[in-house]
Amino acid sequence: MGKLKDITKKRLFLPIFSMILVILINVVYDIASGNPPFSFFSITIRPITGGSSVLFGRLIDILNRGSEVAILAIGMTLVVSSSAGTDISVGSVMSLSGGLCCMLLAGYGVTNVSEYASPLWVGLLAGVGIACVCGLFNGFLVAYLNIQPMVATLILWSAGRAIGLLLCNSQIVYVRVPSFQIFGSYVGIIPTPIIIAAVCILIASLVLRFTALGTFIQGVGINKKAARISGFNSSKIILLTYVICGLCAGIAGLVATSRIYSADTNNIGLNMELDAILAVALGGNSLGGGKFNLAGSIIGAYTIQSVTTTLYALGVSSAQAPVFKAIVVILIVVIQAEPVKEYFKKMSAKKLAAKEARS
């Protein structure tokens, strides 16, 4: 009993609990539909078109498809913590980053190439670079002009995608070169997005572990005035978190673009900012800023993807999926809400009291 209580007190308990809940639904469904009970976890190696064999399975699919949101969640967590606001431009910036990259690789106005117009590294660097510049712009507005984060990032939310479309001459630009496609496909048997997300998460964790960045961001997020008196440059730190958030959006944008080896600027990263924000919230982080837990956000990101994948597995059409997704999100958010937690605490205290009274 005591041990169980210790576990429930841990910060990551609820995010993990939500994740397990979603997985459980899968298991129950599998049993009900006559599949082997743990087919959800089964990972097989199957050949795909093109001759090579790759990892297959629902778990792999979740990890693969959830990569972009997981990468975005890293930056979003830091932005939320430092500025008590959200960067709603990330989806749009993803599209801009992919658009610029493809435009450079294909050449302006060209819609379909099987050879690079400029070297691959130029395209990738430019894509990530423009995203960092977007982060710099957002960060400047928030940190130095004191504009509310949502209003400041609304500018690029609306303009970023449109600039991407302009760069691509309002067309979908296809880059049919294997060395570009690889970022959205497979390295050996493992989907590349999983590797990219894992590397991003690892780097972020190492940076937070071996530098004082976490303390700086949280200090500024919790009490800006006190942080300033204690020698923190709050504006610089807030700016930095927005640049990191832009960088993450750039990487996620290139992954999303590479998946479809084309700059479909109207659709890349569409509404993904909302998933990223949701991931932060599902991870048990307060959107009011201050303390953060990166692991929680990452778990949150994959939970969202689990819900989506589960719905598809259950046969819900992609048009109806958002309704069911909303219901699941409501449930997850409600069990994490403070008043609900308080209620359960009171209930268990009552039970305990009743038990003691009996004995």
Partner 1 sequence: MEKNIVLTMRGICMTFPGVKALDNVDFTLRKGEIRALMGENGAGKSTLIKCLTGVNKFEAGEIHVDGIEGPIVNKDTLDAQKKGISTVYQEVNLCPNLSVAENLYIGREPLTKIGTVNRRKMNEMAAQLMRDLDLDIEVTQNLENYSLALQQMIAIARAVDMKSKVLILDEPTSSLDDHEVSLLFKMMRRLREQGVGIVFVTHFLEQVYEVCDGITVLRNGTLVGEYTVEELPRVKLVAAMMGKDFDDLASIKPEGEKDMSHAPLEIEAKGLGHAGKIKPFNLDIHKGEVVGLTGLLGSGRSELARVIYGADRAQSGTLKVDGKEVNIKSPLDAMNLGMGLLPDDRKAEGIIGDLSVRENIILAMQAKLGIFKRIPMAKQIEIADQYIEMLSIKTATRETLIKQLSGGNQQKVILARWLATNPDFLVLDEPTRGIDIGTKTEIQKLVIKLADEGKSLIFISSEVEEMLRTCNRLAVLRDGEKVGELNADEMSQEGVMKAIAGGGANG
Where on the chain is the footprint of partner 1 (CB under 8 A)? 210-213, 215-216, 218-219, 222-223, 225-233, 290-291
Type of residue at 95: S
The 3-state secondary structure of the chain reads CHHHHHHHHCCCHHHHHHHHHHHHHHHHHHHHCCCCCCCCCCCEEEECCCCCEEEECHHHHHHHHCHHHHHHHHHHHHHHHHHCCCCCCHHHHHHHHHHHHHHHHHCCCCCEECCCCCCHHHHHHHHHHHHHHHHHHHHHHHHCCCCCHHHHHHHHHHHHHHHHHHHCCCCCEEECCHHHHHHHCEECCEEHHHHHHHHHHHHHHHHHHHCCHHHHHHHHHHCHHHHHHCCCCHHHHHHHHHHHHHHHHHHHHHHHHHHCCEECCCCCCCCHHHHHHHHHHHCCCCCCCCCCCHHHHHHHHHHHHHHHHHHHHCCCCCCCHHHHHHHHHHHHHHHHCHHHHHHHHHHHHHHHHHHHHHC
Report residue 297 as tokens.
Answer: 């956000």
> Taking the complex as a whole, how short is the minimal distance between the CB of residue 210 and partner 1, in angstroms?
6
> Taking the complex as a whole, how short is the minimal distance between the CB of residue 290 and partner 1, in angstroms?
5
For the beta carbon of residue 208, count every other beta carbon within 10 angstroms. 17
Report residue 267 as tokens.
Answer: 């659709």
> Taking the complex as a whole, how short is the minimal distance between the CB of residue 285 and partner 1, in angstroms?
12
Give the residue with the Cβ less far from partner 1, 3 or 225: 225
Give the residue with the Cβ less far from partner 1, 42 or 233: 233
> Taking the complex as a whole, how short is the minimal distance between the CB of residue 291 and partner 1, in angstroms?
5
> Taking the complex as a whole, how short is the minimal distance between the CB of residue 356 and partner 1, in angstroms?
26
Q: What is d(CA 253, CA 256) in angstroms, rounded to the nearest whole number?
A: 5
Give the residue with the Cβ less far from partner 1, 131 or 227: 227
Give the residue with the Cβ less far from partner 1, 207 or 327: 207
Give the residue with the Cβ less far from partner 1, 35 or 233: 233
- Residue the block writes with tokens 């990972």: 43
> Taking the complex as a whole, how short is the minimal distance between the CB of residue 241 and partner 1, in angstroms?
12
Give the residue with the Cβ less far from partner 1, 223 or 266: 223
> Taking the complex as a whole, how short is the minimal distance between the CB of residue 77 and partner 1, in angstroms?
15
> Taking the complex as a whole, how short is the minimal distance between the CB of residue 127 and partner 1, in angstroms?
26
Give the residue with the Cβ less far from partner 1, 112 or 215: 215
Give the residue with the Cβ less far from partner 1, 153 or 235: 235
Contact 82, 237 (CB under 8 A): yes
Report residue 177 as tokens.
Answer: 């070169």
Give the residue with the Cβ less far from partner 1, 171 or 223: 223
> Taking the complex as a whole, how short is the minimal distance between the CB of residue 232 and partner 1, in angstroms?
5
